[in-house]
Amino acid sequence: MSKLKIAVIIGSTRPTRFADIPAKWILDQANAVPEIEAEIVDLRDFPLPFFDEAASNLWAPSQNEVAVAWQKKIASYDGYIFVVAEYNHSITGALKNALDQSYVDWNKKAFGAIAYGAMGGARALEHLRAIGIELHMASTRSAVHIATGDFFKVHPGFGGSGNLADIEASIAPSAKAMLEELVFWAGAAKAARG
């Protein structure tokens, strides 16, 4: 089977976001896996309106050209790794809107995640997993969580280093597990989709 095409989707768009640091780190980890060909997909490159279509693209083709470009982009991948910031115990509004802007293109695909925050972004990721069920997606059990001491150690906004190598011993095992599960589920779904 050819390599699995995986998008590392950056879910935060604010100018001073931390998200770029975990995104780059997990991109490198993913591309070190022989079965994976990963690239960054940045929501900043898709200035989507707040959802204003007549229906999701399950029921009617979308009219907004950015939404259509976004759907085509999502459709071109076998799976996803979401970079998950936790905003008020959930995912960012930007990521929720981007998820809503496509439907069929997410279907029967797998995803993993790297999440961060005081509690490792765990509450946001659980919300994302519930949304994924409605989108007919399969979540890996494992995920990378950058939490508490690790989070403050590497987050430049809190005086941290900006370098995930400083916490690699803590997060590398979960990245390995998440990527192994993503290869399994994304590969199984790709074969099943034919």
**What does the binding site for ligand FMN look like in residue numbers (CB under 6 A)?**
12, 14, 17-19, 85-89, 117-119, 157
In angstroms, the CA 123 to CA 140 distance is 16
Q: How far is the CB of 138 from ligand FMN (least distance, A)?
A: 25
For 30, phi and psi rounded to 5 degrees? -65, -45
In angstroms, the CA 36 to CA 57 distance is 28
Q: How far is CA 122 from the centre of its chain?
A: 14
The owner of tokens 């931390």 is 18
| Chain position whose Cβ is nearest to ligand FMN | 117
Which CB atom, from 20 or from 53, has the smaller least distance to ligand FMN? 20
Q: How far is the CB of 154 from ligand FMN (least distance, A)?
A: 11
**Rounded to 5°, angle at Cα 24 from 120 and 88:** 30
Which CB atom, from 3 or from 14, has the smaller least distance to ligand FMN? 14
Q: How far is the CB of 186 from ligand FMN (least distance, A)?
A: 25
Q: How many other β-carbons are positioned within 10 Å of the β-carbon of residue 83?
A: 31
Which CB atom, from 79 or from 117, has the smaller least distance to ligand FMN? 117
The owner of tokens 């959930």 is 90
Which CB atom, from 32 or from 118, has the smaller least distance to ligand FMN? 118
DSSP 8-state class, residue 103: S
Which CB atom, from 149 or from 157, has the smaller least distance to ligand FMN? 157
Q: How far is the CB of 126 from ligand FMN (least distance, A)?
A: 12
Show the tokens assigned to 183: 């290869």
Q: How far is the CB of 65 from ligand FMN (least distance, A)?
A: 27
